[in-house]
Amino acid sequence: MRAIPTLKISISGVRGVIGDSLTPALLTRFAQAFGTYVGSGTIVIGRDTRTSGEMVRQAVIAGLLSSGCHVIDLDVCPAPTVQLIVRQRHAQGGIVITASHNPAEWNALKFVNSEGLFLSVGQARELLDIYHQGDYTKIAGREMRDVETFTGALDAHINAILSSIGALPQTSRRLKIALDSCNGAGSIIAPRMIEALGAEVIAINTTPDGSFPRGAEPTPENLTRLCRLVKESGADAGFAQDMDADRLAVVAETGEPIGEDYTLALAARYVLSKTPGAVVANLSTTSAMDDVARMFNSPLYRSKIGEANVTEMMRQVGAVIGGEGNGGVIYPRVNFCRDSLVGMALILRLFTETGRTVTELLADLPRYKMIKEKLECPSSKIGEILKMIRSEYAGHQLDLRDGVKVSFEDGWLHVRGSNTEPIIRLVAEARDETQARRILDAVFARVGQALK
C-alpha cells in the first residue's frame, strides 16, 4: 500500500511531521509568504508546548523578520490567546504554531487575519498563491526590526473573560472543578482562570512540557484519569483541553464523559437564557443543538466544517454563540474563535446560576449517540469516495456543502475529507448506539474496500 503523505497544505494552514515533511526551510518560506501577504506588518505569534515548538518558532520568526514584519512573540499560550492579542494590539495578523489534536510528531502553522479570525477560504488561497509563486518581500539587514516579547497575554485573556462573562456569583458552596490540560498550552492559564472566576481547581497534566500524557484529543477514551479524579475528589465537573486549548470536553459529576458535542450545548444554553438569538453549528455537530435552540425559540444555522466557516456564518446571521461539535465554543463577546477558557466560564456560570449538576442539565435534552470513524485516505481518492456516497444515498436528503451529509428519519451520516490530515472522516448520529452503528457500518466497509 502506498505511504500516506505526511505534509498537508490546505486552507487550514500547513502541517506535517517534524524531521520528515515539515522542515525549517519550508516553515521559513511559509512565514515569508505570510509576511508578504500582510504587507510587512505586525504579526503576533504563539505556540503550544510540543517539543518541536521552539525550532518551529525560530524558523517562523526568521521568515517574518526577513519579510519586514514586526513580531510580537507570546511564546507558549493557547491559540485563542493569539487571536485575542491580534485584535487588542491591532496587529495585521498572527501565526499559531500548533498541530492541535495531531500526535506529538506533528506540528503546524495556522494563520490569523487582522480581525483575529483564521483566514477565510479566499484569504487562504491568496496566501497559498504567494507561497507557491515564491516571490516574497525581502528587506536588507539594517531594516529588520526587533522581536517584541510580550509576557502579559495570559492576564489579558483572563481579564477579557472576567470583563465579559464575570466572576461566579457567591453561593454557600464553592464549585470544585477537576482539570486536565494535557500538558499543553492551557496548562498555565486554565487553573489561574478557574480560580479567578471563583471556583476551586484540582489539576492534572498541567506541566507545559509537551509530553502528551494521553491522546491529544479530549475524547472520552482519552479521559479515563480525569473521570477517575472527578469521582474520587467529589468534583462538580471535569474539564479537559487539547494541546492548543481551543477545544473543551466536560466530565459529569458522576465521572462520566458527556461527549464533546454537549460542551457547546451547555454553553449555548447559558448564553441563550440571557440573550436569545441566532446560533451556528457545523454540519457534524449533534442534533442536540437543534433542541437547545428550540428551548429559547432561537434559529440554528449549519455551516461547513472548520472554525473559519463557522465564524463567517456567525457574522452573516449575527449569531450570539456558535461553535463546533468537537468541543469548540465561539462566543463573540469575548473572542471570535474557539476558546476552551470561554467555554469553561460560560458553563461554570450555568452551574452556579441554575444550581444544577451536569447530569440534571442534560436530562432536559434528548440524548443522541454519535459514532466517529476515520480511514487513511490520499487526497486524490476523496472525490471518488464522495461520488460513491452520493450515488449510494441519492434517494435521501443530501447536503453537499462539505462532503456528503445524509439525513434519515432516525439519524444522519456525514462523510468528508479532512482539511488537516490525510484521512476521510465518517460520522453518524442517532437516538441510540445500535442505530448509529447500523448507519455507520452500512458505509464504513464500502469506503474501506474502495480505498484498497
Q: At residue 1, does pLDDT exceed 50?
A: no
User: CA 56, 47, 160: angle at the middle one, nearest 5?
Assistant: 155
Structure confidence by residue, pLDDT tens digits, 184-221: 999 999 999 999 999 999 999 999 999 999 999 999 99
Clarify whether residues 345 and 205 are in a common domain.
yes
- The CATH number given to whatever domain includes residue 392 is 3.30.310.50
On whether both 293 and 392 belong to a single domain, the answer is: no
Q: 59 and 139: one domain? A: yes
Helix (H, G, I), strand (E, B), or coil: what is residue 230? helix
Long-range Cβ contact pairs of 169-176 (< 8 A, separation 24 or more): 169/352, 169/353, 170/198, 171/352, 171/355, 174/198, 174/199, 174/200, 175/199, 175/200, 175/236, 175/237, 175/348, 175/351, 175/352, 176/200, 176/201, 176/202, 176/233, 176/234, 176/235, 176/236
Report DSSP state, residue 173.
S
Mind listing the pLDDT tens digit for each residue in 56-96?
999 999 999 999 999 999 999 999 999 999 999 999 999 99
- Write out pLDDT tens, residues 118-138: 999 899 999 999 999 999 999
53: domain CATH number? 3.40.120.10
The number of CA neighbours under 13 Å toward the Cβ of 132 is: 9
Q: Which residue among 321, 340, 362 closes a domain? A: 362
Quote the CA–CA distance of 415 and 271 in Å, as a whole number.
31
| CA-based nearest residue to 66, from 86, 90, 43, 48 | 43
Domain total in the chain = 3
Q: List C-alpha distances in Å: 122 to 8, 174, 349.
A: 18, 47, 37
Please state, in angstroms and as integers, the Cα–Cα distance from residue 67 to each residue in 64, 70, 73, 187, 436, following that order. 5, 9, 16, 33, 51
Does a structural domain hold residue 209? yes
Exposed (0-12), middle (13-18) or buried (19+): which is 142, by Cβ within 10 Å? exposed
pLDDT at 269 over 60: yes
Q: How confident is the model at residue 161 (pLDDT cuts 50, 70, 90)?
A: very high
In a domain, 395, yes or no: yes
Residue 348 C-beta-side C-alpha neighbours within 13 Å: 34
Structural domain span for residue 412: 369-451
Whether 233 and 335 map to the same domain: the answer is yes
Which pTM value belongs to this model? 0.94
Does one domain contain both 339 and 192?
yes
| Within-domain flag for 158 | no
pLDDT at residue 5 in the model = 63
Amino acid letter, residue 36? T
Q: What confidence score (pLDDT) does residue 171 get?
A: 80
Residues 207 and 354 occupy one common structural domain: yes
Q: How far, rounded to the nearest angstrom, does the alpha carbon of residue 292 sit from its chain's CA centroid?
A: 21
**Alpha-carbon span 302 to 280, nearest angstrom:** 6
Band (pLDDT 50/70/90 cuts) for residue 4 is: low
Higher pLDDT, 89 or 103: 89
Shared-domain flag, residues 181 and 232: yes
Q: What is the mean pLDDT of residues 243-258?
A: 97
Averaged pLDDT of the chain: 94
Output the pLDDT for position 421: 73
329 and 386 both lie in a single domain: no
Q: Give residue-wise pLDDT tens across range 356-391.
A: 999 999 999 999 999 999 888 888 889 999 999 999
Q: Is residue 191 part of a domain?
A: yes
Query: Within a domain: residue 163?
Result: no
Q: Confirm if 27 and 111 have CB atoms less than 8 A apart.
A: no
For residue range 307-330, what is the model confidence (pLDDT) as tens digits?
999 999 999 999 999 999 999 999
What share of the chain has pLDDT > 90, as a percent? 88
Share of the chain above pLDDT 70, in %: 99
Higher-pLDDT residue of 385 and 6 is 385
Instruction: Check whether residue 314 and residue 376 sit in a common domain.
Output: no
Task: Identify the domain boundary among 362, 396, 418.
Answer: 362
Phi, psi of 382 (to 5 degrees): -60, -45
pLDDT at 7: 86
Q: Check: CB of residue 67 under 8 Å from CB of residue 35.
A: yes
Evaluate whether residue 166 is within a structural domain: no
Q: Is residue 171 part of a domain?
A: no
User: What type of residue sits at position 418?
Assistant: S
Mean pLDDT of the region 12-19? 91
Q: What angle do CA 317, 322, 328 make, to 5 degrees?
A: 150
Within this chain, do residues 144 and 183 fall inside the same structural domain, yes or no? no
Model confidence over 388-425: pLDDT tens digits? 999 999 999 999 999 999 999 999 999 999 876 778 99
161 within domain boundaries? no
**188 and 280 fall within a common domain:** yes
Q: Is the pLDDT of residue 240 over 70?
A: yes
Mean pLDDT across the stretch 223-233? 98
H or E segment and range at residue 79 = helix 79-88
Q: Which positions are catalytic? A: 100
Which grid cell is 338?
474557539
Q: Would you state the pLDDT for residue 376?
A: 87
Predicted pLDDT of residue 2: 43
Task: Report the alpha-carbon angle 134-307-440, nearest 5.
Answer: 110
Domain boundary (137, 152, 167) is at: 152
pLDDT (average), residues 49-53: 97
Question: Do 287 and 339 belong together in one domain?
Answer: yes
